[in-house]
Amino acid sequence: MLTRHGIAVGALALLLVLAGCAAPMVNPDGDGGATGAASDAADIATPDENFSDPSGDPLGWEDGYWYNESIDVDQSDGLSDAEMRTYVARSMARVEYLRHKEFKERVSVDVLSREEYQEQTRSRSQNASSGDQAEFSEWNNQVWEALFVTGESGDSQEAISETQGSSVAGFYAPTNDAITIITPSPDSPTIDNVTLVHELVHALQDQHYDLTSDQFRAQTQDAELAIDGAVEGDAKYVELRYVDMCGVEWDCVQTPPATGGSDQSGQSAGNGNGPNLGILLTIFQPYSDGPVYVHDKVEAGGWQAVDEMLQDPPESTEQTIHLTDEKPVPIEYRSRATNGWSTFPEQGQRGSDTVGEASMYVMFWYQARTAGADTIRPQNVIETDERYDTYNYNAAPSNGWANDRLFPYQKESGDETEYGYVWVTEWDTKGDAREFRDAYTKILRAQDATKQSENVWVVEDGEFADAFRVQHEGTRVVITNGPSVEDLSDIRPSSN
């Protein structure tokens, strides 16, 4: 899993080179909004020529400011308390205008330095060393190892925390109804327009739908990314429409360029050590495909369709990648492990995770980029043709996904614990299953695996040193992993 499910929702500042090319800037057509929202336009109040305060609290006006009203806010020397209040109030009015929904109450905005935020994420990661959290980390390490993103000596939770610590620009915490913005100088804070707008959308969502409610909780990685595709997609879509308006119909508060210290993405100046790109690209999928998914809903049914989507979010990243309502097919699994091997029954969904199409895409992309695996072209990630899309998560080896369940296993061996997993994948067609199998074996070859028998491979050295059994039958491909060839039959005795 990416997190313990929905601790906070927020904006990522993704200014990284993923495929030898810079991340593309979104360049919308500039029409000022989605055509599907036109039927809601009558709900927006119109200010008079003096921008007088209205009676009541109409849509597009908040705390004394209209959405199209000019404000005297200058961030060149940081925001004063009065400027902060004005800036937030007009931004709330603009979110109402764009999202066609009324704030129920004012939103609190706090600031935090990058260093303080990184220390908080490190502390949360370190606190995962006891009790259930420790078992979750052991289980989750196998998930990310199965995806060839973090290896045997890696700690997935630490890598996730470091990636989030360097990439998050701000977040909204529904547990205390407050926005926190990451800023280089908390004593004289500056706040980027798009980050503030993004987080205000999350506050608006929480006021209407309660982001702590059950429909926003997930038991698997894929379901979490899919739900985030709805929640983050809504916020990112409004953010991108806001960008359309700035400098065209609206004056927007300028953000001074960062000087020294950390850049916007949180990487220290001059420091070549960035976040784990495999984890970062996975985390970013809702921010990339989510806005396209939301735009499709708005075009089809206006903002009411988005409201309905938030009440019943998508179940898989297949839905947000391909704009489909297709449901995952059920996968039944019974563990038949012997010789001391067992699952983690208290973790995930009865011991299993579902990584889903987006994470599978990242696996193929990451191994192509880092190990030279002949899976997909690394440049594929920036080849998009959707107006609101940033990165592409659509590729042949991961297309045709119907479902998957990944069961991490453990075995006590003296003072050590050994690990393995069984990954059951189901595909729409036999051809899709074959494509996945062939691309997966190319990853093994890139890791210098030697073929021991028809279906068994061994990686002798490195972060992914293990034995692998890859079995393809019809629309199903089952991968069994263990420390040695002998362990494979103990972890999964059946040939199915």
Domain contains 324:
no
Calpha distance 379→225 (Å, rounded): 23
Q: In what order do the strands lie in the sheet with 168-173?
A: 9-12, 168-173, 178-182, 108-112
* Same domain as 302, residue 356: no
Determine the Cα angle at 247 with ends 242 and 252, to 5°: 65
Question: Can you give the pLDDT at residue 82?
Answer: 96
In a domain, 335, yes or no: no
The amino acid that residue 24 corresponds to is P
Identify whether residues 194 and 288 lie together within a single domain.
yes
CA distances from 76 to 114, 257, 258, 259 (A): 19, 9, 11, 12
Whether residue 259 is found in the same domain as residue 115: yes
User: What is the pLDDT at residue 43?
Assistant: 76
Q: 251 and 103, same structural domain? A: yes
Looking at the structure, tell me whether residues 67 and 210 fall in a common domain: yes
Token pair 């045709």 in the structure block, residue: 400
Residue 169 has what pLDDT? 87
Q: What is the pTM of this model?
A: 0.88
pLDDT tens digit at each of 496 positions of the chain: 444 433 356 666 543 444 433 333 333 333 334 433 333 455 788 898 899 999 889 999 999 999 999 999 999 999 999 999 999 999 999 999 999 999 999 999 999 998 888 887 777 656 654 556 889 999 999 999 999 999 887 778 788 877 766 778 899 999 999 999 998 888 999 999 999 999 999 999 999 999 999 999 999 999 999 999 999 999 999 999 999 999 999 999 998 876 444 333 333 333 346 789 999 999 999 999 999 999 999 999 999 999 999 999 999 999 999 999 999 999 999 999 999 999 999 999 999 999 999 999 999 999 999 999 999 999 999 999 888 999 999 999 999 999 999 999 999 988 899 999 999 999 999 999 999 999 999 999 999 999 999 999 999 999 999 999 999 999 999 999 999 999 999 999 965 4
Are 298 and 356 in a shared domain? Answer: no
In a domain, 327, yes or no: no
Quick check: is 468 in a domain?
yes
| DSSP labels, 308-349 | HHHHS--S-HHHHHHT--PPPPP--------TT-EE-TTSTB
Task: Tell whether 96 is covered by a domain.
Answer: yes
d(C-alpha 62, C-alpha 70), whole Å:
14
Residues 240 and 382 reside in one and the same domain: no
Q: How many domains does the chain have?
A: 2
| DSSP-based three-state secondary structure for 361 | helix
3-state per-residue secondary structure call for 163-224:
HHHHHEEEEEECCCCEEEEECCCCCCCCCCHHHHHHHHHHHHHHHHHCCCCHHHCCCCHHHH
Task: Assign 267 to helix, strand or coil.
Answer: coil
136 assigned to some structural domain: yes
Same-domain pairing of 390 and 291: no
Indicate the residue among 268, 294, 313 that finishes a domain: 313
Same-domain check for residues 57 and 162: yes
Alpha-carbon distances, residue 45 vs 17, 48, 59, 68, 437 (angstroms): 43, 10, 6, 11, 57
Whole domain around residue 444: which residue ranges?
342-491
Is 24 within a domain? yes
pLDDT at 17: 42
Same domain, 369 and 286: no
Residues 6+ apart with CB under 8 A from 316: 222, 223, 226, 327, 328, 354, 356, 357, 401, 403
The pLDDT of residue 8 is: 58
Whether 212 is in a domain gets the answer: yes
Examine the domain organization and report whether 221 and 182 are in the same domain.
Answer: yes
Which pLDDT score is estimated for 28? 32
Q: Does 220 lie in the same domain as 157? A: yes
